[in-house]
Every structure is written in C-alpha cells, then in structure tokens.
Chains A and B, each alone.
Chain A
Amino acid sequence: MMNALNRIWGLVKKEFLQLGRDKLLLAFVLLAPLLELTLMGSLTGEGVQNLPLAVVDLDRSQASRELITRLDQTDELFIKAYGDSVAQAQEWMQAGQVAVIVVVPPGYGEALTDPQQSAEVQVVADGSNQVVSSAAIGTTENVAAEIVHDLTARHGVAGGGVVELRFVARFNAALDDRPNAITMMLALIVYQVTLVIAAQSLTRERELGTMEQLRVTPLGRLELMAGKTIPTLLVGLVNCLLMTGVIVLWFDVPMRGSLLLLLLLTIPFILAQIGWGTLISLISRTQQQAMLFVFALAMLEIACSGFLVPAGDLSGVMQALSCVSSIRHYMTIVRGVTLRGAGLGVLWQPALSLSGIACAVVTLAWLRLRLGLDADSLRQRLQVAWHVHQRRRRMRRVERRAKTARRHGVQKPRPTREPAYVDVRVEDQ
C-alpha cells in the first residue's frame, strides 16, 4: 500500500514538473481561465443592447415624435436612420445596417387621442436573427404599453389592458443575463481545461513513446490512472476556486450557498471529465485525433446543457442525452449554490446524477485500460476469431465431403488440409 502510494506520488510529481516546465501551458491552464472569464463576463450578459433602428414616420405629428423619442431612449434600441419609405428601410435591412424598422402610419396622432379608434404602429424585425427580432418586438410593445399607460393617466381614456401582469423575478431581481452567462462560462472553462489535460496526457505519452517506458516501471494500471487523475483534479479545483472568486468578488454574483459544497460537487464533475478524457486518449492514436474527439464531445455537451435552448425544450433524443451530460447537472448545481442558496437537500438529484455519471465513465475508462480494448487490439481479436471460425468451417466441410464419399464408396483424392496456424496481418502504425 505504502509502495503504491509512493509510486503514485512519483507520477504526480512528474506530471507537475512537466506542467511547470511548459510556462505557456501553465499560463493557459491557470491564468487564461481568469482572463477569459473577466473579458467575456464584461462583454456578455448585457443582453440585447443598442440595436440599430430605422424609423419611417409617415405621420409627422407631435405624438409620433414622442413615440420615436421613447424608442430611442430604450437600452435596446437606438435610431440609426430616418427613412422616407418602407422600401428604403427594407433595403437597409437587407444590407444588415438596421435590425428593426418601425413604421408610424399617417393619422397615428389623431387615432391615438380618439377614444373610438385604435392607433397602430408597425414593427418589422430582422427575422434572420431571432434573438434580435424578439427583443426588438418586445421592446416596441413595452414602449406602446407605456404610452397607453400615460394616456390613461392623462385623459382618463379607458384601456391599458384588462389583465396586467406584474413580474417579480426571484434570485435575480433585475433579470440580469450576466449571472446566467458567467456561471455557464465557469462550467465550460473548468470543463475544457480538465477534459483536454486528461485526454492529451495519456495520448501524448503514447505518441512520444514514453508510455512504453512507463509500462516497464512497477507502476500498475490503476496507479497510472490515479497518478494521472490527481494533478488534473487539483488543477480543475484550483481553477474552479479562482473563478468562483472572480465571479463573486468582481462580477457581484451572489454566493448564497456554501462554497465548500460547490467545491465538493465540482469533484465528481471533474472526475467525469477525466473519465471521458482517459477514454478519448485510449481511443485515439494521435493527439490530433484526441483533440478532435474532445471538441466533438464538447459540442455535444454544450448542445445538451441548456445553454442554447432551455433544457426542458430539447427534443426526445437530446433530452435523453442531456440526462448523461455532466455539464447540465453541474450548471444546476452552480446556479443553485450561488444564486438560489440551495443546499445538498435540494441539490441531491443533480449531485447524485453527476456522481453516477462520474462513476460510470471512470469505470468504463478503467475497464478499457484494464482489458486493453483499444481499437487495434479489438480488430486483431476479431480477425483471429474470424480466421479460427473460417478454418473450423472449412474443416467441417472437408470432413462432411469425406464422409459422403465414404458412404457412396467413391474414392476421391484426399483434400489437402488447411495450415494449422492463423494468419493475422498486423497493420503497421
């Protein structure tokens, strides 16, 4: 036991030495996460802002000017141009210069003050980007609702909608996008760093030929895996801790739950990535392949994570896949701990799923390492089995023929027997 620990410790030391030697890698593993998080955290999370708007004012009344000013004053829109006709504004949209067109029809001002009539404003949004178009339409509707509200107050005209909804957002009162985006980034960065380190470390040993040296040391397979796992786990945890510090102290994301719980539940998340990484490194022959597998897997995970569409909206297949996506469960945990202040009593479900995934993937990776089930040896085994099968069949056919020949009393020359060895061609690497 002591010896095993010693051997693992040796490997861990070696891994850290290697990491420390490559200054650029060290910088990208420890500093780049913080830098990227800070940069992107300050960039995203504002939501949709400053969409260019073209106004076609065919009414030119005081009321229409008031509407236009109000539209310009919103965070989401700013007036880029005034058009004379709808066609002209549409040309601008085609060229991508404006994202929204607001058309105020003639007679707008009169209809607005006439209680019997209802004024109408037309909004055309660029549907080639649905985020933009829905934000633009929503903003215009809000401005219209404000105007109606003011009118009711000023003139006592009935209206203002029969049922009004008053929204109160819990946990994130301003409905700020930033906590949402930045916790997602934290998870993604921890994910990519740990997955890459795990996936490349074994492939690298294999590609550079140092795996063979490791094989002749007394290091067992399990010890090898443990020695490779510990540094990655530590790097991931340090990353997570540093980035949590940044999002709480710098970006004012509240930390309502326990930091210890968050770190504790980060462990199965990282272990799952190490499992995936080890699996990838056992499948791929070169680091190039490993990287492509990493990227493909990362894309799948991000698709299922609820980042592009709400997780509840996924289609059937994706819904099933998203249950085994570690990033999705981890997102629930991160947001639960930081924003909701949830404890383990509430988060037991994602925590259990995450641990389950981690156990399954790590076991799979270990089995793969244990049985040496990489693609080449699998192919060789299959080839051997196929040849053996073929040989048995031929033998049986020969025996059958010999039997019938004996029964009919026909003397036939004895067929030559197949050679007894199995011919397996091993492809050169």
Chain B
Amino acid sequence: MSIRRLFSILVKEYRHILREPRTLWMVFLSPAFVLIALSTVFASGSGRINLVLWDQDHTPLSRQFATTLSSDNDFSVGRASGYEEVETLLVEQRIDAALIIPPGFADTVQSGDSASVQVILDGVDTLVAGQTTGSLLGHAADFGLALSRQLSLPPLPLQVRSQSAYLPSTAERESMIPGLIPIVFSLPVMAAALALARERETGSLESLIATPVRGLEYLGGKLIAYVTAALVGLLPVWLVATLLFGVPFRGNPLLLVVLAADFLLASVGMALFVGNVAHSQQTTTVIALFIFFVPGFFLAGLIDPIDTTDLPGTAVSYALPSTHFVTICRALFLKGASLAEMWQPALALLVLSIAWVGLGALTFKKRMRQ
C-alpha cells in the first residue's frame, strides 16, 4: 500500500470527474437538484377532495350538513342520486368518495342518538383514501360538536388531545425532506459503480494492471474520490433543505458530515462491489437501479416504517446503508439528536461500511487474477 500511488489514482479519478461538465454537474450538484424536484412535490396540499353527496333525507339538518361540507375548502362537492350513478363516477375516477345521508337522519340526531352517514370510498389509492377519511372524520367531528352545542347534548365521555412532537402535524414537507437525503445521494454513488465497470469494459483496467498500482490502492483511490466528491455535494443539499425549504437543523453539523461520510463509504463500497460483479456498464446500471432505486423508496423506511417483526425483510432493509441514514438524518435535522442518542444506526453504518468496502475489495482481487 503506497500513499503516493493511491494519490495518483485519486488525481486520475478527479480528472475524470472534472473534465466533463456533465459528469461534474451530475456528481456534485445533481443531489441538490433532485432534492428540489422531490421536495417541491410536497408543496402545500392544494388539491381538493372530490365528493358527491346523495341526500336521501331532505331535511333542514341534512341540508345544513351539505352546506357546511360545501363551504369547506378541502372538498369540492357534487350531487348524485342513486347507487348506479355513484358506481359509474367511482369507476371513471371522477370522485374520491360518495356520501349518502340516509332517510331519518335528522330524526335520529334530534332524538340524541348518533346518526350514521354512509361513505363509499375509492379504495384503490390508499394514500388518497387515507387523506379523504381523515378530512371527512375531522369534518364530521366539527359538525357534531357544533350541533351538540346547538342541541345542548352532554359532552363526549372521552376525548383525545393529540400533539405532534418536533414538527407541527401540517409540516409534511419538512418531515419528508431529511428522509429523502439518502436517496438523492444514490446518483454520485452509482457513478462510482459505473466508473469501475467502465475501466473494465473499455479495457483501460488492463493497462492499469501492468502498472505497479495494486488492487487495493486502485480501489481506495476510486472510493476516496467518489466519497469526497459526494461529500462536497452535501453542502448544496444542506443549503437547499434548510434555506430553500426551511427544514430546521437542530443537530451538530460536524456530526452530519462524519455520519454522511460513513454512509457514503458504505454505499460506494456497495457500488464498487456491484461494479466488480457485473461484466458491463449496462449490467451495472441495471443492478444498481435494482438495488438503489426501488428499494430506496420502498425498503428504507422512507414512507412506511420498517416492520421489525418480519425477519428476512428486516435483514434486507438493514443491509441497505440508506435505511440507517434515513433514521440519522431525521434525528439530526428534526430532533437535534446527539451521537449517544443514535448510536444504534451510527454503529450499524460503521459495520456496513466495513462490510461493503471489504466485500468490494475481496471481489476485486479475484477479478484481477483472472
């Protein structure tokens, strides 16, 4: 292991990155741009929930319910009569839900019982269905509260006072952005995998084998070049998150840099492993997308938290560096956690970085001898 040779490989890699404006842009700045693109999606939910109302009761009270519903900005309310019409509207995806006020609605309410309104939801997009359910429940509770005051009914025996820690419950975008940071760094990481596969495919690796540069020095140079390049890209990402989107950063910036370096080490190690195993750049790209793209969204705990009761699934999730970095980013940005409070994901990242870099180095040696 010679530092001088490693350094010359490092310089060579940097020259590769710097000489092409497109590669330069992709490695340093693309994480920030992709973060902007993904985050603007979470702009304040202006979309309305499309409803139709079928009033079978035709009383002042049912009309009052309809009016309060229409005056709510979250809903755009149409009218319907008949199940067939509702069904057609649902199949054609023109509405998210249909409300049916049964006959006798007003009588039941006035007698002090709870009256039921039927809601037919479009259950296909569960994201939309969940949103619709929440909004309608909130609306029904408000309406019920106003009505029980009006009719002077006794208060509900049990109430839940909910509170959202660290961020208000409306700050969906702010809560999402730290979790997106790991996935936007897949771009420079995948560039490393291709840098390795490229040398093999275009044959420049063979000329390198003839030089005194050893496998470890070669791999180390590549690793350091791409990890440091991606770390430079962390600054624009951090600026985009905190300044552009106003995500609070409550933790220690130095800790973020150190843990990000660890995360990148693990990811680039994984990428180099992929680059070693694959025979061509095309194969590398396909494998890298399978490992980083879809699992990055579905397995890293970005949307649904990881269900730890499912053992094989948890094992796969935990082998991905981004799973731990999602936890770390959320804790650092939003909770201001210290290293002691997140030693588990930090330790996991350390173990993973050693494991993946080691695996990358092992597979590389074998291929050099062939």
Q: Which residues of A contact B (CB under 8 A)?
A: 22, 24-25, 28-29, 32, 36, 39-40, 42-44, 46-51, 90, 93-96, 99, 111-113, 115-134, 137-138, 140-141, 144, 147-148, 151, 157-173, 175-177, 179-181, 185, 188-189, 192-193, 196-197, 200-201, 204, 207-208, 284-296, 298-300, 302-304, 306-315, 317-318, 332, 335-336, 339-342, 346
Contact = CB atoms under 8 A, between A and B. Distances in A.
B194 interface: yes
Given A118-B156, A291-B285, A294-B285, A335 B37 contact: no
Contacts of B176: 130, 308
Greatest chain B CB density within 10 A among A93, A116, A168 is at: A168
Interface string B157-200: 11111111111110110011011000110110011001100100
B105 to A, nearest CB: 9
Nearest to B309: A50
Given A43-B313, A287-B194, A339-B124, A315 B162 contact: no
Closest 7 CB pairs of A and B: A169-B123, A312-B47, A172-B123, A315-B43, A127-B164, A162-B144, A313-B47
A162 B148 CA distance: 7
B287 A28 contact: yes
B179 to A, nearest CB: 8
A44 B299 CA distance: 8
A84 B268 CA distance: 45
B85 interface: no
B334 A128 contact: yes
A371 B272 CA distance: 38
23 contacts: A25-B286, A32-B287, A95-B337, A124-B163, A126-B166, A127-B167, A130-B176, A137-B169, A161-B140, A163-B140, A165-B119, A165-B140, A172-B124, A197-B286, A288-B191, A288-B194, A292-B190, A294-B285, A296-B33, A332-B93, A340-B91, A342-B92, A346-B91
A32 B286 CA distance: 10
B119 A166 contact: yes
A204 B162 contact: no
Interface in B18-40: 20, 22-23, 26-27, 30, 33-34, 37-38, 40
Given A175-B129, A314-B43, A170 B120 contact: yes
A208 B23 contact: no
A309 B109 CA distance: 36
A62 B70 CA distance: 43
B155 interface: yes
Nearest to A136: B162
A289 B158 contact: no
Given A96-B342, A307-B297, A29 B286 contact: yes
Nearest to B45: A313
A290 B313 CA distance: 32
A162 B6 CA distance: 74
Interface of B: 20, 22-23, 26-27, 30, 33-34, 37-38, 40-48, 65, 87, 90-93, 109, 112, 114-131, 133-134, 136-137, 140-141, 143-144, 147-148, 151, 153-169, 171-172, 175-176, 178-179, 183-184, 186-187, 190-191, 194-195, 198, 201-202, 277-283, 285-290, 293-295, 297-299, 303-305, 307-310, 313, 316-317, 327, 330-331, 333-335, 337, 341-342, 344
Contacts, number: 411
Given A125-B164, A137-B164, 12 more contacts: A134-B169, A158-B154, A164-B115, A165-B117, A170-B87, A171-B124, A207-B201, A207-B202, A292-B23, A300-B34, A306-B125, A312-B128
A298 B296 CA distance: 13
Given A163-B147, A170-B123, A309 B304 contact: no
B45 A309 contact: yes
Contact of B30 (A29, A137, A189, A296): A296
A161 B310 CA distance: 38
Given A141-B160, A288-B195, A170 B90 contact: yes
Contact of A175 (B126, B167, B294, B335): B126
A163 B137 CA distance: 10
Contacts of A166: 116-119
Contacts of A291: 190-191, 194, 281, 285, 288
A167 B117 CA distance: 9
A290 B286 CA distance: 12
A144 B285 CA distance: 51
Given A115-B157, A130-B176, A332-B93, A168 B125 contact: no
Given A24-B278, A24-B279, A161-B156, A304 B140 contact: no
A28 B313 CA distance: 20
Given A128-B334, A291-B288, A340-B91, A140 B278 contact: no
